[in-house]
Chains A and B, each alone.
Chain A
Amino acid sequence: MKQKFAALFCASLWLGVAPAQTIDDGIMMGKRLMCAGYMFGHDSWGHYWEGSRHRNNGNIGTLRTQSHQLFANYGLSSKLNVIAHAPHVQTEATQGVLAGMRGWQDATIAVKYKFFEAPVKKVGSFRAIAVVSGAAPMTNYTPDFLPLSIGLASRRVSARLTGHVRTRRGWFVNLSPSYTWRDGVQLDRPFFYTNGRLTFSDRVEMPRVFDYAASAGLIRGEMVLSASYSEQRTLGGGDIRRQDMPFVSNRMNFSRVGGWAKIPLPKQQALSIVAGFSYVVKGRNVGQSTTVTAGMMVLFNLPGGKKN
């Protein structure tokens, strides 16, 4: 059973461009179990929101982002997991003359703690999980060339609380809100204009971010199906002005729907294939992204862990 849970956990890692879903799901790895893998992501948008104005841009065409992500998740105990992931990102615009960018983006480390679990009469079980995560750029990439920058280059810390209910037949719902504090980012220029002010500094204060993800799905044997709705609300920052470029501290908001499926290999249960899809339905100062992801992961015991 423990391994099944772990495999499920593994499957839910990093679908879409959002922060690793592992961090916001309700599943824990067993003690000394390790799940590691690789995930490919392809994100594209042709329309974006300039403030609240929905538009396209002939000087961008379609903005494509490809990511290659390495990840690992380790069970210090069945209540305490440590998660790490590191994406390599590449951007390009299909029209216009702006150069695409590529490089290692931000590394994330998260500690996930299941602090409560109880049976729910006639239903199944409920568990509550707290997650603290931190992320920092792995390379000195610039966040000042949006939308072609590979990230926002901000160090950040998030606090998250997840509630997870599962029935005996395997149906589940999961709700996971979080709050993120972001450190200021460094530009290569001595002044910048945003949100109605010219600031004489190369350091940009980054507003905090609230987000949540709600998901529901079915676990039947080793097969997992899940659908999700998530929202991000940036708690400050200015809008992209008419015909301006995006800026790192913009108020970037979006609502997104998505789904994913996980299928273990028939004769090798420790190996799984995962595929996901997500679509931004509404946004502000972001692209209207369509994202597909696909990956493979392997589950194994570390020395001293419980054998299968």
Chain B
Amino acid sequence: MNARSSILFLALVSLQAQPRSNDPSAGFWRMIVLNSPTQVPVAEPLPVTDAAYQAELTVVKQAQSRLTSEEREAVDYWSRGGVLRWNEITMEMVAKANLPPAPRDDGTYPVPDANNPFADPMFPFANPPYAARAYSYVAVAQYEALKVAWYYKYLYNRPSPATVDSGVQALRPSPGLPAYPSEDAVVAGATAAILQLLFPTEVESIARRSAEQRQSALLAGRATPSDLNAGVALGQAVANLVITRARTDGMGAAVGNAALWQSLADQARARGVIPWLSLESPPRPPMLPLFGRVLAWSMTAADIAAERPRPPPSTSSAQMAREVAEVKDTLRRLTRRQMAIAYKWADGAGTPTPPGHWNYIAAPHIADAGFSEVRAARALALLNMAMHDAAVGCWDAKYAYFNPRPPQLDPSIRTSVGLPNFPAYTSGHSTFSAAAAEVLSYLFPASAATFEADREEASISRLYAGIHYRSDIEVGKRHGQRIGAYTLRSARSDGADE
């Protein structure tokens, strides 16, 4: 780097927001999966006067002295914060994997196989429940690992390389934050481990990005090799504890089987209502009928059952007839502005899904708030835990009632977005959005009105699209708010607000 470009670069880097607080007590915030930060031991680092540490500083300085433009770009890229960058990366992986299996020639559909992820269909099919769960595991793994990291940072108080040696350039300073273990490496290690479980076809790109994040921390003068090594080991160890939970949370059984799919229809008929039917050709099995039994974050199975909404209007009731008529009437009068709202929130195949959309909404608020890395992780963890619980609660209701979509009850209805292949009641968009808006309004109260407006728009978009009735939306929103409240009850006492 020549002198001029390095001054310019430093000037650019120094414009980035500094955390308002390093949150030195974050090591004592309540854990979610772990019991205590000491569950994962981290060895005491060598003193900074040790010759071995001094040799590490030399490694950093040498690397900084021959920084390539590619490395500068990487430092700049990760300066937005690892938590936010990995959130974007996860959104991309979800969008890429969010494609339903193509039918076989015999009219049946193959099921993606985690043990054979590169086959057709690839594993996973990152549909909204899968995605909600994935975002939550990534965020929780990061949050748990960072709380442990903060515990050891303030236990050992090793200063940053640039503080120890003025010859090290602080390209991305975190004043006063102890460097050991490196929070960048903690995030890199924890995220890589959990993402490789969730998106096994992406193993190579995940490993490459994880290595790039760690190397960028070294090049930015934030961490020495020993800070990084301790961090990545800690991140991986925490992720492994989170993965143990993920492997037994019920996801593997959520697809169900032919007998289950048939019994759902039979039970609806026994209740005297018209059962949901797939309108795809050939008919596709319903999406993840047992996702309602997947382990939630802030709710027990009893909570999920207790919060299940009352039944939808019977398919033969006058109210249902009115609601079908409302859908049809809405489509007949649809304005271009309403269509735009339907497209904006379509969030169907090939997109990051509605939970991804809400991560996209949250990201600039987190970036602008000047949060420490651990507090940024908390924000995304709370948001995504609430949306995962919303997916569990909503799917529980959908398969408890197995209610038909509007085009099934009135075949003249034609939709403005792809018709989701699962029951109507209640609206997933409405449930996700209401839960997300509850959490974001707690985290960023000054912007509560915009979150509420987004919740309303996302919810009503499904009526404009012709794929939901009014009841699905209104009941879904209230359900989502109650679910969000569970997340907030524990959040308010987790220690972070003190």
Chain A residues close to B by CB (< 8 Å): 58-59, 95-100, 140, 142, 144-145, 187-193, 196-198, 200, 241-245, 247
A190 x B360 contact (CB < 8 A)? yes
User: Given the complex, which residues of A lie within 8 Å of B495, measured CB to CB?
Assistant: none
Q: What's the minimum C-beta distance from A170 to chain B, rounded to whole angstroms?
A: 50
Query: Which residue in B280, B339, B349, B413 is a CB contact (below 8 Å) of A244?
Result: B349
User: Given the complex, which residues of A lie within 8 Å of B331, measured CB to CB?
Assistant: 99
Which segment, of B51-59, B63-71, B91-99, B388-396, faces chain A? B91-99
Q: Quick one: given A58-B280, A59-B281, A190-B360, are A97 and B343 in contact (CB under 8 Å)?
A: no
A245 x B350 contact (CB < 8 A)? yes
B96 x A193 contact (CB < 8 A)? yes
Closest to B361 in A: A190
**A to B CB contacts below 8 Å, 26 in the list:** A58-B281, A59-B280, A96-B279, A97-B419, A98-B414, A98-B415, A98-B419, A142-B340, A142-B343, A187-B343, A188-B340, A188-B344, A189-B343, A189-B344, A189-B345, A189-B346, A191-B360, A192-B351, A197-B92, A198-B88, A198-B95, A200-B360, A241-B99, A243-B101, A243-B102, A245-B350
A95 x B281 contact (CB < 8 A)? yes
User: Given the complex, which residues of B lie within 8 Å of A243, measured CB to CB?
Assistant: 99-102, 121, 349
A198 x B414 contact (CB < 8 A)? no
Closest to A140 in B: B336
Q: Does B466 contact A (CB under 8 A)?
A: yes
CB proximity to A under 8 Å, residues B60-79: none
A98 to B350, CA, bound (A): 17
B350 x A244 contact (CB < 8 A)? yes
A142 to B343, CA, bound (A): 9
A189 to B417, CA, bound (A): 13
A158 to B95, CA, bound (A): 34
By Cβ-Cβ distance, the 9 closest A-B pairs, closest first, are A58-B281, A99-B414, A198-B92, A193-B95, A188-B343, A188-B340, A243-B102, A97-B407, A189-B344
Chain B residues close to A by CB (< 8 Å): 88, 91-92, 95-96, 99-103, 120-121, 279-282, 331, 336, 339-341, 343-346, 349-352, 360, 407, 413-416, 418-419, 466
A192 to B415, CA, bound (A): 20
A96 x B352 contact (CB < 8 A)? no
B416 x A99 contact (CB < 8 A)? yes
B351 x A193 contact (CB < 8 A)? yes
Residue from the set A97, A99, A242, A245 with the largest chain B CB neighbour count within 10 Å: A97
Closest to A243 in B: B102
Closest to A99 in B: B414
B281 x A96 contact (CB < 8 A)? yes
Q: What's the minimum C-beta distance from A298 to chain B, rounded to whole angstroms?
A: 35
Closest to B351 in A: A193
A142 x B281 contact (CB < 8 A)? no
A192 to B91, CA, bound (A): 11
Q: What's the minimum C-beta distance from A185 to chain B, rounded to whole angstroms?
A: 13
B282 x A58 contact (CB < 8 A)? yes
Q: A98-B415, A145-B343, A241-B350 are in contact. List 4 more A-B contacts (CB 8 A).
A: A97-B413, A99-B466, A191-B360, A200-B88
Interface of A is mostly: loop
Interface of B is mostly: loop
User: Given the complex, which residues of B lie within 8 Å of A142, measured CB to CB?
Assistant: 339-340, 343
A198 to B85, CA, bound (A): 13
Q: Quick one: given A191-B360, A193-B96, are A58 and B340 in contact (CB under 8 Å)?
A: no
A242 x B121 contact (CB < 8 A)? yes
A197 to B205, CA, bound (A): 13
A193 to B345, CA, bound (A): 15
Q: Quick one: given A142-B339, A241-B350, A242-B102, are A97 and B121 in contact (CB under 8 Å)?
A: no
User: Given the complex, which residues of B lie within 8 Å of A247, measured CB to CB?
Assistant: 350
Q: What's the minimum C-beta distance from A190 to chain B, rounded to whole angstroms?
A: 7
Q: What's the minimum C-beta distance from B355 to chain A, rounded to whole angstroms?
A: 13
A287 to B413, CA, bound (A): 25
A241 to B125, CA, bound (A): 13
Query: Which residue in B345, B351, B415 is a CB contact (below 8 Å) of A99?
Result: B415
A190 to B352, CA, bound (A): 11
User: Given the complex, which residues of B lie within 8 Å of A145, measured CB to CB?
Assistant: 343, 416
User: Given the complex, which residues of A lie within 8 Å of B92, measured CB to CB?
Assistant: 193, 197-198
A144 to B342, CA, bound (A): 11
A182 to B119, CA, bound (A): 36
A168 to B340, CA, bound (A): 57
Q: Quick one: given A193-B350, A245-B349, are A58 and B419 in contact (CB under 8 Å)?
A: no
Query: Which residue in B103, B345, B349, B415 is a CB contact (below 8 Å) of A58?
Result: B103
User: Given the complex, which residues of B lie within 8 Å of A190, measured CB to CB?
Assistant: 344, 360
A241 to B98, CA, bound (A): 11
Q: What's the minimum C-beta distance from A302 to chain B, rounded to whole angstroms?
A: 38
A97 x B351 contact (CB < 8 A)? no
A140 to B88, CA, bound (A): 30
A95 to B280, CA, bound (A): 9
Query: Which residue in B100, B101, B360, B414 is a CB contact (below 8 Å) of A97?
Result: B414
User: Given the complex, which residues of A lie within 8 Å of B415, measured CB to CB?
Assistant: 97-99
User: Given the complex, which residues of B lie within 8 Å of A189, measured CB to CB?
Assistant: 343-346, 351
Residue from the set B339, B346, B349, B466 with the largest chain A CB neighbour count within 10 Å: B339
Closest to B356 in A: A191
A189 to B345, CA, bound (A): 7
A119 to B296, CA, bound (A): 83
A192 to B350, CA, bound (A): 8
User: Given the complex, which residues of B lie within 8 Å of A200, measured CB to CB?
Assistant: 88, 360
A245 to B350, CA, bound (A): 8
User: Given the complex, which residues of B lie within 8 Å of A191, measured CB to CB?
Assistant: 91, 95, 351-352, 360
Closest to A199 in B: B92
Q: What's the minimum C-beta distance from B357 to chain A, rounded to whole angstroms?
A: 8
A144 x B343 contact (CB < 8 A)? yes
User: Given the complex, which residues of A lie within 8 Å of B339, measured CB to CB?
Assistant: 142, 188
Q: What's the minimum C-beta distance from B395 to chain A, rounded to whole angstroms?
A: 22
User: Given the complex, which residues of A lie within 8 Å of B120, measured CB to CB?
Assistant: 242
A206 to B345, CA, bound (A): 23
User: Given the complex, which residues of A lie within 8 Å of B352, measured CB to CB?
Assistant: 191, 193, 198
A245 to B414, CA, bound (A): 17
User: Given the complex, which residues of B lie within 8 Å of A245, measured CB to CB?
Assistant: 349-350, 418
A178 to B100, CA, bound (A): 38
User: Given the complex, which residues of A lie within 8 Å of B88, measured CB to CB?
Assistant: 198, 200
A100 to B416, CA, bound (A): 9
User: Given the complex, which residues of A lie within 8 Å of B103, measured CB to CB?
Assistant: 58
User: Given the complex, which residues of B lie within 8 Å of A144, measured CB to CB?
Assistant: 343
A200 to B103, CA, bound (A): 31
A98 to B349, CA, bound (A): 14
A100 to B360, CA, bound (A): 30
A144 to B350, CA, bound (A): 13
Q: What's the minimum C-beta distance from A137 to chain B, rounded to whole angstroms?
A: 13
A225 to B92, CA, bound (A): 52
User: Given the complex, which residues of A lie within 8 Å of B282, measured CB to CB?
Assistant: 58
A140 to B343, CA, bound (A): 14
User: Given the complex, which residues of B lie within 8 Å of A100, measured CB to CB?
Assistant: 414
Closest to B414 in A: A99
Q: What's the minimum C-beta distance from B103 to chain A, rounded to whole angstroms?
A: 7
User: Given the complex, which residues of B lie within 8 Å of A187, measured CB to CB?
Assistant: 343
Closest to B109 in A: A243
